[in-house]
């Protein structure tokens, strides 16, 4: 098939269809088996005890009381914990954090495991854990993001080189300058399915039922702790109830449950409670961001200087790279983004859906709105005046960028042209204050590395395999569509196996790059099959395709056609049967060659417009309309892509108005660590929500032209909502989430 290597790849009829989720019925009827649904013979329940202080030492655990409780089989503490082979402070893979696995009695953050209890029933283990009643020697905890803390350090690897002189030149050239500081709250990934594992040892082989966004990396990570080769670890992860970044890494509680299984010789099941999600499994760190912007007399940006202050734990170093959001968006003549971080007595933050961009663009989009207002021009017009034709930070050309179309289509649908420039001018029929705001969305499109295998059976059906993770985003459906097209088969002739570490490695379901990466590998595997099939047919005198090899073939509906003579074709099954009836297996891989990444800047873009209504007396805020238009390259499944983008925009509502983990300053404990106190939007908070996908052909981003839709929806939305609140009320709130009391 000669044409398949040209770009963009040739596509069949499955891609582009709004196919419903192939796993939908299994999920809504409860027949989908999630990790903690597994109950191997003789398994024990594990429950860990989270620290109730944020800094200090555990001085006493009532192990006798716990051990004496009926049904409790084991109490694991730092005193009797069996050794681990791998050092928990080491990072065995690029997707690793340091984990707390009862190394000692030290407490480094609230929620850290300080003991684990095993029991014959969940009730027994839970009661045993309660009976341990830890006593502490507490020290004052540092939990507030505050750069007076003497632990400030400069993380390397984020941000542009600090070209201060250049930026000061931009400052001197500016006619008007703003200097504003925005704060964003700490947020915790709260996937519907909490972290879980069912661990079972067989000699030095380990089988884990565990939700994972990165199966091969997780195998390598867990293998490190137990001193076994990565190939001895099997992870089964057919379904995930959400991930958002937090399920891509080995976590301390899961390591402890695996250790417990080895210690007892019995399978062990652990599932975190909702409260236990707040601490040991990552979060989006709070930020404090200072933005300085300058414009010349024409409203062209002379500089953007974006400094992010981020929190990290006392023992690891992930920081939210928020200021990076300013590197790729607006055509400022001078650009600087820099980060500092402070060590706090908190669990280590980690990547959480649109890490960096979500927090960074919230601040940037508000600052852009502030500048537009200062110079008295429409916020959309201000962004168009500063539209970047090449990536500002690097000068690279974009692989594609249909952002202008996004602005135009979303503004038109929203009715933006009718907006008053002044704040506080609009009221609805019920006397509510009405405000309109907008923001630009941007998220880069990284790729990981993936492999896949495709097997065409003699009956003309096929099996495709890759260890892809469906977190709920629909990978199981969209990836199957890509695979079916590469093989020229209807979707129902295809069996798609994923979610198992024994399959070819699909890489990481993260960075909004899973469809592009795993899909690229599936596509290549299908093409490898079709190439082999074509060679067989072309060499077979009995085939109508005999001798047509140089022209190439197109696979469609289970038949191979000569590329330049569609009337010459033969069914796959006939070709295989004459060749002896053995199935044909093909392999494929995908990753982005570094030279491609050097040549082009690659990002998904979008424009989000928000309407809020605010009660003039109570200041209750409602997002009444959100319209987002996004350009993200080829859309494999419009239904699923729109669903992803909507989910992102809803997260934007959450970021702007709801989500915040609050620490008790006295103990460092998170006081709202459950869904009663930690607010996320419910249906009543989500009114008119509209997603437009803007057509975009991208010949450079990858062979399939796919950019990714998983995270970009959050990025423009937060600023759009905050700007709408300002437009409604005249009040500029520089702290997220925006609360009623901020408006009083």
Report whether 131 contacts 65 (CB < 8 A). Answer: yes
Q: Which lies closer to ligand MOS via its Cβ, residue 510 or residue 588?
A: 510
Q: Which lies closer to ligand MOS via its Cβ, residue 302 or residue 312?
A: 312
Using CB under 6 A as the binding rule, whether residue 69 contacts ligand MOS is answered as no
Q: Which of 244, 414, 443, 700 binds ligand MOS (CB under 6 A)?
A: 244
Using CB under 6 A as the binding rule, whether residue 352 contacts ligand MOS is answered as yes
Using CB under 6 A as the binding rule, whether residue 355 contacts ligand MOS is answered as yes
Q: Nearest to residue 386, comparing CAs of 300, 303, 480?
A: 300
Residue 722 tokens, joined: 């905050």
Q: Nearest to residue 451, comparing CAs of 388, 522, 368, 397?
A: 522
> Cα separations (Å) of 2 from 144, 427, 544, 588, 734?
60, 62, 18, 16, 56
Residue 60 tokens, joined: 């006493």
Name the segment binding ligand MOS (CB under 6 A); options: 102-110, 242-250, 620-628, 727-735.
Answer: 242-250
Residues 202-221 that bind ligand MOS (CB under 6 A): 213
User: What is the three-class DSSP state of 556?
Assistant: strand
Using CB under 6 A as the binding rule, whether residue 353 contacts ligand MOS is answered as yes
711 part of the active site? yes
Encode 207-272 in three state secondary structure: EEECCCCCHHHHHHHHHHHHCCCHHHEEEECCCCCCCCCHHHCCCHHHHHHHHHHHHHCCCEEEEC
Name the segment binding ligand MOS (CB under 6 A); options: 42-50, 240-248, 482-490, 547-555.
Answer: 240-248
**CB contact set of 387 (below 8 Å; sequence gap of 6+):** 330, 331, 403, 404
Q: Which of 119, 245, 253, 708 binds ligand MOS (CB under 6 A)?
A: 245
How far apart, in Å, do the first and last CA atoms of the chain sit? Answer: 67
Using CB under 6 A as the binding rule, whether residue 472 contacts ligand MOS is answered as no
* DSSP class per residue in 386-401: TB-SB-TTT-PEES--
Q: Which lies closer to ligand MOS via its Cβ, residue 124 or residue 632?
A: 632
Residue 505 tokens, joined: 């490695």
For tokens 């912007």, the residue is 293
Using CB under 6 A as the binding rule, whether residue 648 contacts ligand MOS is answered as no
Could you say which of 127, 465, 642, 711 is catalytic?
711
Q: Which lies closer to ligand MOS via its Cβ, residue 248 or residue 709?
A: 248
Residues 499-538 that bind ligand MOS (CB under 6 A): 510-511
> Cα separations (Å) of 538 from 1, 229, 534?
11, 44, 6
Q: How far is the CB of 353 from ligand MOS (least distance, A)?
A: 5
Q: How far is the CB of 692 from ligand MOS (least distance, A)?
A: 24
Q: Which lies closer to ligand MOS via its Cβ, residue 191 or residue 270?
A: 191
Using CB under 6 A as the binding rule, whether residue 351 contacts ligand MOS is answered as yes
Residue 530 tokens, joined: 């079709």
Name the segment binding ligand MOS (CB under 6 A); options: 349-357, 380-388, 459-467, 527-535.
Answer: 349-357
Name the segment binding ligand MOS (CB under 6 A); options: 12-20, 130-138, 345-353, 695-703.
Answer: 345-353
Using CB under 6 A as the binding rule, whether residue 318 contacts ligand MOS is answered as no
Using CB under 6 A as the binding rule, whether residue 225 contacts ligand MOS is answered as no
Number of residues binding to ligand MOS, judged by CB under 6 A = 11
Q: How far is the CB of 191 from ligand MOS (least distance, A)?
A: 10
Q: Which lies closer to ligand MOS via its Cβ, residue 189 or residue 266?
A: 189
Q: Nearest to residue 580, comparing CAs of 527, 546, 526, 542?
A: 542
Point out which residues bind ligand MOS (CB under 6 A).
213, 243-245, 248, 351-353, 355, 510-511
Active site residues: 711
């Amino acid at each position: 098939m000669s044409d398949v290597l040209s770009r963009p790849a040739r596509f069949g009829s499955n891609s582009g269809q709004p196919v419903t989720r192939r796993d939908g019925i299994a999920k809504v009827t409860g027949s989908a088996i999630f990790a903690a649904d597994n109950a191997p013979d003789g398994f024990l329940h594990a429950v860990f005890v989270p620290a109730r202080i944020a800094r200090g030492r555990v001085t006493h655990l009532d192990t006798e009381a716990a051990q004496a409780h009926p049904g409790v089989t084991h109490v694991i503490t730092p005193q009797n914990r069996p050794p681990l082979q791998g050092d928990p402070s080491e990072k065995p893979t690029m997707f690793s954090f340091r984990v707390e696995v009862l190394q000692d009695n030290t407490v480094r953050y609230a929620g850290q495991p300080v003991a684990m209890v095993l029991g014959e029933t969940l009730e027994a283990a839970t009661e045993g854990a309660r009976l341990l009643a830890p006593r502490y020697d507490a020290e004052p905890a540092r939990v507030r993001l505050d750069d007076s803390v003497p632990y400030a350090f400069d993380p390397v690897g984020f941000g542009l080189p600090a070209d201060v002189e250049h930026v000061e030149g931009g400052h001197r050239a500016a006619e008007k300058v703003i200097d504003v500081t925005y704060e964003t709250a700490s947020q915790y990934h709260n996937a519907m399915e909490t972290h879980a594992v069912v661990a079972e040892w067989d000699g030095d082989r380990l089988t884990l039922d565990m939700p994972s966004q990165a199966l091969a990396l997780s195998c390598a990570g867990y293998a490190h702790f137990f001193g076994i080769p990565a190939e001895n670890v099997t992870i089964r992860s057919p379904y995930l109830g959400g991930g958002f970044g937090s399920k891509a890494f080995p976590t301390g509680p899961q390591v402890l449950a695996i250790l417990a299984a080895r210690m007892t010789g019995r399978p062990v099941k652990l599932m975190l409670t909702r409260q236990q999600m707040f601490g040991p499994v990552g979060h989006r760190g709070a930020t404090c961001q200072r933005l300085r912007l300058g414009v010349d007399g024409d409203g062209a940006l002379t500089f953007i200087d974006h400094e992010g202050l981020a929190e990290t734990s006392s023992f690891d170093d992930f920081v939210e790279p928020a200021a990076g959001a300013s590197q790729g968006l607006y055509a400022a003549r001078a650009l600087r983004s820099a980060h500092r971080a402070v060590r706090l007595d908190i669990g280590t933050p980690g990547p959480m859906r649109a890490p960096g961009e979500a927090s960074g663009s919230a601040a940037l989009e508000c600052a852009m709105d502030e500048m537009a207002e200062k110079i008295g021009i429409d916020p959309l017009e201000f962004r168009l005046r500063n539209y970047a034709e090449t990536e500002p930070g690097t000068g690279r050309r974009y692989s594609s960028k249909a952002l202008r179309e996004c602005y135009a289509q979303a503004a038109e649908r929203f009715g933006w042209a009718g907006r008053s420039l002044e704040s506080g001018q609009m009221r609805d029929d019920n006397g509510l204050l009405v405000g309109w705001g907008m923001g630009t969305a941007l998220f880069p499109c990284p790729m990981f590395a993936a492999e896949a295998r495709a097997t065409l059976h003699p009956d003309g059906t096929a099996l495709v395999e890759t260890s892809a993770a469906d977190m709920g985003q629909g990978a199981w459906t969209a990836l199957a569509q890509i695979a079916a097209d590469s093989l020229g088969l209807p979707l129902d002739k295809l069996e798609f196996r994923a979610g198992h570490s024994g399959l070819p490695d699909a890489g990481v379901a993260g960075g909004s790059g899973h469809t592009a990466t795993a899909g690229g590998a599936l596509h290549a595997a299908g093409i490898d099959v079709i190439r082999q099939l074509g060679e067989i047919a072309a060499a077979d005198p009995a085939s109508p395709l005999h001798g047509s090899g140089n022209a190439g073939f197109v696979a469609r509906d289970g038949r191979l056609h000569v590329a330049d003579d569609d009337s010459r074709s033969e069914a796959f099954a006939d070709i295989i049967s004459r060749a002896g009836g053995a199935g044909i297996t093909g392999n494929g891989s995908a990753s982005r060659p570094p030279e491609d990444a050097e040549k082009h800047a690659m990002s998904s873009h979008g424009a989000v417009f928000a309407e809020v209504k605010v009660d003039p007396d109570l200041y209750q805020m409602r997002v009444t309309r959100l319209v987002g238009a996004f350009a993200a390259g080829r859309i494999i499944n419009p239904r699923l892509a729109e669903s992803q983008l909507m989910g992102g925009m809803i997260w934007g509502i959450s970021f702007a108005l709801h989500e915040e983990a609050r620490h008790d300053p006295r103990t460092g404990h998170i006081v709202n660590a459950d869904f009663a106190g930690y607010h996320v939007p419910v249906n009543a908070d989500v009114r008119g929500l509209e997603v437009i996908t803007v057509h975009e052909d991208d010949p450079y981003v990858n062979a399939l032209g796919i950019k990714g839709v998983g995270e970009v929806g959050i990025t423009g939305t937060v600023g759009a909502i905050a700007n709408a609140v300002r437009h409604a009320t005249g009040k500029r709130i520089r702290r997220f989430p925006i609360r009623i009391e901020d408006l009083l």
